[in-house]
Amino acid sequence: MKKYLVLLCLSLVSVPLLACDICGSGAGGGYMGLLPGFRKHFVSFRYSQNSLLSHLGSGGSSTYLTTKERFQLLELWGAVNLGKRFRIAGFVPVNFMERQNGLGHFKQNGLGDVSLIGYYQLFNRDQELKKTGRLLQSLWVGAGIKMPTGRYNPEEKNVQDGAQNTFQLGTGSLDYSLNVMYDINLHNVGLNANLGYRLNNANKYDYRYGNKLTANILAYYKWRISDRYSIAPNAGVLYESAAKDHKTSDIKVWETGGRSTMGTIGLEVSLGRIGLGMNYQTPLSQDLGEGKLKARDRGMAYLSFSF
């Protein structure tokens, strides 16, 4: 059975949201979108980008201190199946970050935090229904680890002013994630639901990013051009919520954390062993960093090879 995956905040890594998690920097999320069917193994290259406004004034107004931040990610990731029920996925991100405000224009690039996630398939059902056709269902549970391979700069002094510690290549901490993925497909119409939770630890500088919850649901339709080729448009909603950061064990960084809801639309194409995909996300509602942060639109594209 060809499998659809939505991998979310696998921890990590990458693209979008909430104080670093909101921004797509070192502590960012890992939204993937639908992935075309693959065989036992695959490797993929992904590009994603998003942007953020921080240090907003009252009512979300711009001030001299208002900062525009842009985050781009190039990522190598892949997965291998171990038997019929186990899968291991790995992620190696490279971050490209820009910050612009009244003080100047700043850039930094480099390796982000590498992640590994293990999945176990609780069930995989294939039923032939008399009137409605073939019903496919699968449920996966997983746990992951994010390693502090990305550089964390303790000199980011904006944290001292209660601002957001977003401009980092990595978190500097060893963190963990829990994930659940469910997919149901009836006669090429499908629904994919995903739930992820990341538990963040304090780094050696005693800074701890807030734990993060991510949940999404996508509806899709798969047009089968042939046994090897298919096109699957999809659309849905992504919800993210993060607790506040701590700069010591008992001192919160007040203007961090929050929640957002994003509308998503995407397209996945399967060309035999080659997969292509893209995804666009736009904020529907948000309450981030006590109103001092504003997430903007995001985009992602990937190319995958199955073998």
* Cα–Cα dist 221/232, whole Å: 5
The pLDDT value recorded for residue 166 is: 83
DSSP-derived 3-state class of residue 60:
helix
Task: Provide the 8-state DSSP code for 293.
Answer: B
User: Using the 8-state DSSP alphabet, how is residue 155 labeled?
Assistant: T
Confidence of residue 60 (pLDDT cuts 50, 70, 90): low
Domains with residue ranges and CATH for the chain: 41-306 (2.40.128.130)
At residue 235, does pLDDT exceed 50?
A: yes
Please give the distance of CA 53 from its chain centroid, rounded to a whole number. Answer: 19
> Taking Cα atoms as reference points, which of 97, 77, 76 lies closest to residue 87?
77
pLDDT of residue 72: 94
Distance CA 122, CA 221 (A): 24
**pLDDT at 280 (0 to 100):** 94
User: Which residues lie closer than 8 Å to 273 by C-beta, 6 or more apart?
Assistant: 39, 305, 306, 307
Question: CA-to-CA distance for 236 and 15, rounded, in angstroms?
Answer: 17
Q: What is the mean pLDDT of the segment spanning 219-247?
A: 92
Reply yes or no on whether the pLDDT at 136 is more than 80. Answer: yes
Check if the beta carbon of residue 232 is closer than 8 Å to that of residue 34.
Answer: yes
Instruction: Evaluate if residue 12 carries a pLDDT over 80.
Output: no
Query: Would you state the pLDDT for residue 36?
Result: 41
pLDDT at 39: 56
Task: Summarize pLDDT for 167-206 with one digit per residue, the tens.
Answer: 899 999 999 999 999 999 998 899 999 999 999 999 999 9
**Distance (Å, whole) CA 67 – CA 69:** 6
* pLDDT reported for residue 129: 78
Instruction: For residue range 267-288, list pLDDT tens digits in order.
Output: 999 898 899 999 999 999 999 8
- Helix, strand or coil, per DSSP, at residue 243: coil
Distances 86 to 82, 91, 147, 182 between C-alpha atoms, Å: 5, 17, 21, 15
Whether 115 shows a pLDDT value over 70: the answer reads: yes
Q: What percent of the chain has pLDDT over 70?
A: 83
Rounded-to-10 torsion of CA 144, 279, 26, 63? -140
Q: What pLDDT, on the 0 to 100 scale, is given for residue 163?
A: 62
- What does DSSP assign to residue 227? S
Task: Look up residue 240 and give its two tokens.
Answer: 């993210």
The yes-or-no verdict on residue 290 having pLDDT over 90 is no
Tens digit of each residue's pLDDT (9 = 90 or more) over 13-52: 333 333 344 444 443 444 444 544 445 788 999 999 999 8
